[in-house]
Amino acid sequence: MTMMLNVKDLRAYYGQVQALHGLSFSLNEGSLTTLLGANGAGKTTTLRAICNMVRSTGAIEFEGKPIGNRSTENVVRLGIAHVPQGRGTFTNMTVEENLQLGAITRGDKKNIVADIERMYDHFPVLKQRHTQQAGTLSGGEQQMLAVARALMLRPRLMLLDEPSFGLAPLVVRDLFRILGKINREDKVTILVVEQNAQLALELADQAYVIETGRIVMSGNAKDVANNEDVRKSYLGY
């Protein structure tokens, strides 16, 4: 299986404070991987470091090419879509404009309209609201919009930062079902950071657990889910 993303000895800093202490992990092409950890463990920082939104050292390779020195927008242009914490919705623009922005770097203009329709198939509620200002959407709808916007890039790799945050359980189920579908059908490699460990481990095939900026466990999602420490710390039984 080929490697999509390879991260070696990643260290990240906020000013003087070091948030990641030599993180190494890799993602197989087509995999759905979850990154688990408590608050402040460095999950968000890891995603931000991949997109060069925080100062970091170490090696990050995407499809065999180093991307550590690229600016955020140039990382994105390689086909890495990042759904940030808080969703990053363009609240004063319409739902449809948000989707168009997701595809703003693409050269194949004629496929964009069809892709927007595809997103409306995935997320019918967005179609109903396509002329509405995105800021008027509910939290769950905005999260769907954020995922749809990321997919409009036709990404090779999608990074999701706590997509379940603040959503009702039923909405989360729905969202994760769609993520699984996207991963299988569109062959998008997915790395999802989650607080909802149980759901994330059900969905994922690979899992990493980080604590205070270090990887403390990795492996097959099922094995990780059966690990006693993980059960106690993250699954609560």
Partner 1 sequence: MELFANQVLAGIATGAIYACMALAVVMIYQAIDHLNFAQGEMAMFSTFMSWQMMQWGVPYWWAFILTVILSFAGGILIERLLFKPLAKAPVLTNVAGFIALFAIVNSVAGLIWDFTIKQYPTPFGSSPFLGSQLISTHQAGMVGVTLLLLAGLYFFFQFTRIGLAMRAAASLPESARLVGINTSWMIALGWGMAAAIGAIAGMLIAPVVFLEPNMMGGVLIYGFASAVLGGLSSPLGAVIGGFLVGVFENLAGTYIPGVGNELKLPIALALIITVLVVKPAGLFGRPIVKRV
Distances (CA, A) of 182 to 54, 122, 217, 230: 28, 9, 26, 27
Q: How far is the CB of 60 from partner 1 (least distance, A)?
A: 16
Alpha helices in 27-79 (DSSP H): 43-50, 72-77
User: Which one, 73 or 223, has the nearer CB to partner 1?
Assistant: 73
How many residues form the binding site for partner 1 (CB under 8 A)?
A: 31
Taking CB atoms within 8 Å and a gap of at least 24, the contacts of 117-126 are: 119/148, 119/151, 119/152, 122/148, 122/151, 122/178, 122/181, 122/182, 123/147, 123/148, 123/178, 126/95, 126/99
Beta-bridge partner residues of 11: 21, 57
Q: Which of 136, 212, 220, 226 binds partner 1 (CB under 8 A)?
A: 136
Q: Which of 26, 90, 125, 205 binds partner 1 (CB under 8 A)?
A: 90
**Sheet order of strands, 65-66 included:** 17-28, 3-14, 55-62, 65-66
Closest CA to 208 of 50, 76, 90, 37: 37
Instruction: Show the binding pattern over residues 44-83: x = contacts partner 1 (CB under 8 A), - = does not.
Output: -------x-x-----------------xxxx-xx---xx-
Determine, following the binding rule CB under 8 A, whether residue 93 of this chain makes contact with partner 1: yes
CB 159 within 8 A of CB 50: yes
Determine, following the binding rule CB under 8 A, whether residue 97 of this chain makes contact with partner 1: yes
Element (H, E) at 151: helix 139-151
Determine, following the binding rule CB under 8 A, whether residue 100 of this chain makes contact with partner 1: yes
In the chain, the amino acid numbered 200 is A
User: Which one, 145 or 209, has the nearer CB to partner 1?
Assistant: 145
What is the DSSP-derived secondary structure letter of residue 91? T
Instruction: Show the binding pattern over residues 137-166: x = contacts partner 1 (CB under 8 A), - = does not.
Output: xxx---------x---x-------------
Stretch of 130-138, 174-182, 187-195, 226-234 lying at the interface with partner 1 (CB under 8 A):
130-138
Q: Which of 22, 68, 88, 180 binds partner 1 (CB under 8 A)?
A: 88
C-beta atoms surrounding 177 within 10 Å:
11
User: Which one, 3 or 93, has the nearer CB to partner 1?
Assistant: 93
Stretch of 9-17, 135-143, 183-191, 193-201 lying at the interface with partner 1 (CB under 8 A):
135-143
Q: Which residues bind partner 1 (CB under 8 A)?
A: 51, 53, 71-74, 76-77, 81-82, 84, 88-93, 97, 100-102, 104-105, 133, 135-139, 149, 153
